[in-house]
Structure 1
């Protein structure tokens, strides 16, 4: 960008220097012409005077000397001003213009933001050096001060301060962001509250205070499905010995997770909170920690098998009876695999929060797909069974026998 500005200054330099070499045919009344006019007037006055001849000749000689002296002085003056001074003036104007352009670009231009963006992009690809991190922080602070309406710069700075371990400063920036956000920006306010509560928690050496929990509860009121807020709320409630609240917060997350390491860690925290309650003499029901499973025997009728090929795809799906159409669990077989017993569980969820644990009643579907696509099309064969409990203990038999018209 700065090179583009310097390139634009080249024609300006030419514009300023041109008068040094090229002077137009402009009629200018110089000091020499004024002196000549005055000399002629005085000569005329002297000629018409009543002085004697010798006096007039003496005065005329004096006038001639004065005129010649002034003409010589003016000639030297014109040479100096016309050459040297015009060069100095042109170069001074160019230097002043260059300096003003650079200073105005630094003040109003986007050089700082461009450099900050470059450093942010680099940080996503590799670890920044200490000087680069310090430069990025200072540039983000400058960008935020120059663009107070663009909260993103402050948000990026606060996240970076958090990552650097400067939690107190990060908390201060998140607090400023929260003040600046309008009330209608619900999602942004919930995120800012969550990040502020987290920064305050770490700034206090991970000692939970009541205001931390209250702040995260406000965030959950704005965004009840915010998983990060729910996790922090569980931690804060546990540290404040609100064990029932901690279990409830963590339960909401656990039910939305498929079986895996994250769910296992969360289950450990839930069981620890339950142990504390048991020690206090309070009974705790953790039966919901047993993940739902449905065992299904999938088979195919004689007519359907005769119309299908051995390599045709068979989809076995569990969908919510009342809810989104996306399957909660799915397994893929071929006609050659049938009959076969399969287990549908949270492990086969297609997206977080959409699993068997989330819905008590489901619809089971087994379908032979001629196209290989899970959506039913004319010519496919299928069977449906509904409603089925997501904790059905008995083996459910599905025989594919119905032609899709």
Structure 2
């Protein structure tokens, strides 16, 4: 709130200067007028004295018979006219109008209060307060009472501002977290009906439907997941649900592939990453029981993707003698020489090695920046000893420094044999 008042004060400061400036100038002009008035009074006294002297001379001339009454009246009139002419030439403003100064001071005091009042009446003060409360909630600075108040205010806003889909989306997320699944589903449906291309919202709707259905993959959930993946293949929420659907129909290879692709985008050590890692392990166990080898492609799309020109097959090995725990993360990715940001990435563990992975459009880090946008890449396989997604001292790494597109059809091999 303090910053709001500071901004208002800064906005009103120029206004105060504009109002005060004429008042300060008026005072200086008033002093000059007084000086001019004194000078004017002095000249008037001189002219009046001369008039009286000339008039006395005229009367004396008439009394002595030098001039008659007719000439006397004519000369007297001319003398009076001359006096009036000299008075007009030396006239100065006697006083300056002082009225209106009080009005300006009144406006200077009234306008700030009027501006603040109009802001509270017409402005978005309540929205700003709600935004601040939500920001405080996101960093854990609110209690249960404040959380309930925020949710209630968001509900009220959906009624008063039905076109505000952003506020409705925040409300849906809060209802989902608070286990009000039907309320969350209703809000998500409202948004999807008006913004069907919002893949993230559709993914969260599918998640809410999944939970509301007793953690079962219903046809509606599957339909929403397919719609999301067709629009946004790397959506982690949809990939997680797609893995569950594949596991339920005992397509363990597809389940593992979906979960691996989602896992590659998760921060190492996060709860979501741990859950996905556990799912991958279950899929691996199921494949082993079915007699399927698990050191074949574990991520990166379907098996017949060899026809896809934006695809790189990589075999990763870990030489003997490298001291490492089985659950140590392994990041395999392609990047350009001028940027450390991966174009495509797969995450495994040391226990999965040796392994073959596929880097393609389905493992892209972000839309619009993937393998199809470049003609040459670097391949890196890094054993993250400290569990950090970024390279750190103590990690082990192997790489292919330059791989042109003409060689992408050939399987690449990386041995993780260099310590950072």
Q: Given the two structures, how large is their TM-score scaled by the length of structure 1?
A: 0.45
TM-score normalised per structure 2 = 0.43
